[in-house]
A and B are shown apart, each in its own frame.
Chain A
Amino acid sequence: MNCESARQLIDQLLDEELDAGLRIEVRGHLADCRACLEAYARLQDQKAEIQGYAPHYEAPAALVASIRAAVEREAAGEKAALAAGTKWRWAAVAASVLLAVSLGWNFATLRSGGVNRDLVGENLLTSHLRSLIGTHLLDVVSTDQHTVKPWFNGKLDFSPDVRDLSGGGFPLAGGRIDYLAGRTVAALVFHRRQHVINLFVWPVDALAGASPWSRQGFNLVHWESGGLNYWAVSDIPVSELQQFQALYEE
């Protein structure tokens, strides 16, 4: 290794960002080249100097208190809005607050449950895509919730809440039985303009639930109600899915 290459790599050596092979090469060069070794030593000194002598500012206690107060105020405002809320835009606020709950609950388990969460999400997305490209989108075709709900009787060991949300711009198209991670689940199908929303429903605890996320341009939103998991999957914006959720839960 020559000096020019070594000089370009000594910062990364210092920051422990080099892989083992390059690290050995650069160290080998430093052992032979006094000028480069001195340049490296100057970088080491500077790092130590910054750590020892540059001011490290801490957030003043008054600032932390003021931030907490502002956030409390904001939260109180949301609470008032929710209490008032029959209006549409408040439904969106409600949805986002519910998502917050889901996030809050799931944060502690996100790391440990990461694999499971990804697995469920992956399965949901696969089912959604399969329903779009295949012919098996609907087993029961009806815009009437009183036709779709009884259709599931005897096919599932639970009874999903089926709603037609055409009033809110999410008309019911029908439903089907789907399979997810080894169990039977209900899939309800809704339309949003030209887009399809799959709403997957199964009992809580059967599969791990998690917070909303997106992948490959698809959004997933989750909530729980009456002991059942609800997962809505679509390519519409997450804000619209949250709207859908809020309407569904009204």
Chain B
Amino acid sequence: MVSGPALPRPARLEWFEQIVVPHLNAAYNLARWLMRNDDDAQDAVQEASLRAYRFFDGYRGGDPKSWLLAIVRNTCMTWRRRTQRGLSTVVFDETVHGAAHESSAEELLVDAGRRSALRDCIEGLPVDYREVLILREFEEMSYKQIAETAGLPIGTVMSRLARARQRLEECVSGRRRAAGV
């Protein structure tokens, strides 16, 4: 029998190391895209990780990444609702262009432009579209995993993903035309 407090603590921490820690990069990437800034993303992942630790008995042996990302996603969405932060603003980040200008290589300039255009356009997507796109293209989750993580029917995942891609293409090609690329 497991008696006394000595054994449970390391076992539970061990569980945390096995189930949660390996997916902290994915957790942070999702939170960073949903919150659109480092500070909020860090706070959200910190809170979500603690929730995961506290509510580990909700974990029933499925895909640990989907399970953790669902908690991260719910944490982010709750925070967004609470703080009502910028809903669909597109922030054009001058620092990326500034950094690119320091380099003389034309390639780097073009790359930096592509990077910032893509980032701005993805960040400018409505959050419901953005989240399915991130889960699909960055985490390479199946529609079924996305549906579980985001708590959506598969049909909704598919339609949101298609619309996200369409809007993203419009935005990126618009940016290219404006930049004369």
A136 in the interface, Cβ–Cβ < 8 Å? no
| Residues B45 and A100 in contact, CB atoms below 8 Å apart | no
Interface presence of A50 (CB below 8 A): yes
Q: Is the CB of A75 within 8 A of B29?
A: no
Query: Do most interface residues of chain A lie in helix, strand or loop, or is the interface mixed?
Result: helix
The answer to whether B143 and A17 touch across the interface, beta carbons within 8 angstroms, is yes
Partner of A56, one of B7, B29, B143, B161: B29
Interchain CB contact (< 8 A) of B24 among A11, A64, A72, A99: A64
List the B residue with the shortest CB-CB distance to A225. B1
Interface of B toward A, CB cutoff 8 Å: 1-2, 5, 7-9, 11-16, 18-19, 21, 24-25, 27-29, 32-33, 38, 41-42, 45-46, 49-50, 53-54, 56-57, 59-61, 111, 114-115, 118-119, 122, 136-138, 142-143, 158, 161-162, 165, 168-169, 172
The docked-state distance in angstroms from the alpha carbon of A74 to that of B12 is: 11
Beta-carbon contact of A78 and B45 below 8 Å: no
Closest to B53 in A: A71
Q: Establish whether residues A63 and B57, one from each chain, have CB atoms under 8 Å apart when the complex forms.
A: no
Contact with B along A12-49 (1 / 0, CB 8 A): 10010100000000000000000000000011001101
Instruction: Please name the residue on chain A nearest to B18 by beta carbon.
Output: A107
A238: chain B residues within 8 A (beta carbon): 57
Residues on A with C-beta less than 8 A from B18 are 104, 107
Whether the Cβ atoms of A67 and B24 lie closer than 8 Å is yes
Contact B118 A49 (CB under 8 A): yes
Among residues of A, the one whose C-beta sits closest to the C-beta of B4 is A82
For B13, the chain A residues whose CB sits under 8 A away are 71-72, 75
Find chain A residues with CB under 8 A from B172 CB: 46, 49
Any B CB within 8 A of the CB of A174:
no
The residue that B28 contacts in the complex, of A57, A98, A212, with Cβ under 8 A, is A57
Neighbouring A residues of B60 by C-beta, 8 Å:
213
Contact call A42/B7, Cβ cutoff below 8 A = no
* A100 B115 Cβ-Cβ under 8 A: no
Complex-state Cα separation, A64 to B161, whole angstroms: 31
Pairs of residues from A and B, 7 with the lowest C-beta to C-beta distance, nearest first: A59-B28, A97-B8, A225-B1, A104-B11, A82-B5, A100-B12, A57-B32
- Chain A, residues 171-212, CB within 8 Å of chain B (1/0): the string is 000000000000000000000000000000000000000011
Chain A residues, CB < 8 A from B21: 64, 68
